[in-house]
Chain A
Amino acid sequence: GDSVTQMEGPVTLSEEAFLTINCTYTATGYPSLFWYVQYPGEGLQLLLKATKADDKGSNKGFEATYRKETTSFHLEKGSVQVSDSAVYFCALITSGYSGYALNFGKGTSLLVTP
């Protein structure tokens, strides 16, 4: 079945460092891909998305490009801030019985220190 694999955490970075969180997917169809973020004590929020190959999603300085040839959707940010500390989830959605629901990776915890 469809699935998402993302890098294990936790990831600890100093403020202003470059961030990459790897995400790869397996899907039988043509999924849409997402990054959701969960700040401490809160629910998940959509961070960015891409719906077809070569699309780039971006928001709040974060970017991710839908790479069909490598089945990847890596999250990047050029300069992280303390306020970016959160858990990041890669996800996909495809058609099917659960096509209305997102298929999440296990999450990657990011801690940014001053």
Chain B
Amino acid sequence: NAGVTQTPKFRVLKTGQSMTLLCAQDMNHEYMYWYRQDPGMGLRLIHYSVGEGTTAKGEVPDGYNVSRLKKQNFLLGLESAAPSQTSVYFCASSFPQSADTQYFGPGTRLTVL
């Protein structure tokens, strides 16, 4: 099992550019999450999904969109990147009966210039 994988690992964008971060899991988890990690801030939830075709906003959703077209994939989109979105992005997944035990990907380091 690969677990949770994220693509790409690193990316540099210019302000106003768009991009999509891909998260994939092979553990048949229903729940998937996108977090961002900023220095001194811990992790904050951006969006989450409790199943294929469903998404919901987390703590800091502004400037991001998500889609869950397939159970194993959860995409995070930035339509018009801003320097404030410079961060490390982590995807996670879990079973609903054990949503407290989340499995994290290795992260994507995004810099917006």
Q: B59 on the interface (CB 8 Å rule)?
A: yes
Q: A43 on the interface (CB 8 Å rule)?
A: yes
Among candidates A41, A44, A101, A104, residue contacting B58 with C-beta atoms closer than 8 Å: A101
Least CB separation from A46: chain B residue = B101
Q: B90 on the interface (CB 8 Å rule)?
A: yes
Chain A interface extent, by class = 20 to 34
Chain B contact residue count (CB 8 A cutoff) = 26
Binding site for A on B (CB under 8 A): 4, 31, 33, 35, 40-45, 48, 50, 56, 58-59, 90, 92, 94, 99-102, 104-107
Smallest CB separation, B39 vs chain A (Å): 9
For A43, list chain B residues within 8 Å (CB).
4, 90, 92, 104-107
Q: A42 on the interface (CB 8 Å rule)?
A: yes
Bound state CA distance, A42 and B42, in angstroms? 15
- State the main secondary structure of chain B at its contact with A: strand
Q: A106 on the interface (CB 8 Å rule)?
A: yes
Bound state CA distance, A41 and B104, in angstroms? 12
User: Which residues of chain A from 34 to 58 have any CB-CB distance to chain B below 8 Å in the complex?
Assistant: 34, 41-46, 49, 51
Whether A100 touches B50, Cβ cut-off 8 Å, given contacts A32-B100, A43-B107, A44-B90, is yes
Least CB separation from B6: chain A residue = A43
For A4, list chain B residues within 8 Å (CB).
42
